[in-house]
Structure 1
Amino acid sequence: MGTLFIILIVVGIVLLLLGVFVEAVKFLLWLGLVILVIAIIAWLLRSIRSKS
């Protein structure tokens, strides 16, 4: 019974850490997409202004 309890604790901790890691990756993915869109808009504005 003791080893089953230890295995359940370890599995629970691993799943908790994995959940936190996945949420962090999701946040960083959205942050990267926002930065990419801002960079594209800035590049377009700069290229439009330099032509005129």
Structure 2
Amino acid sequence: MVNSVVRLYVAKEQFPTLSIHSLRRFLMVARQGELRQRKQEDLANQSSCLTLVTK
């Protein structure tokens, strides 16, 4: 999994037209791209982590 993420990141750097959304979907594959937390604080934490990873 880590190698896949690294490859995708390198591809993103080489091809700036690669959608950031596709990277986020790839990272959230287990949750099928959904934020499923119940509490507002947990939702904010999950979305912040996702943003941090994809920057």
TM-score when normalising by structure 1: 0.33
The structure carrying a bigger helix percent of its residues is 1
- Structure number, greater radius of gyration: 1
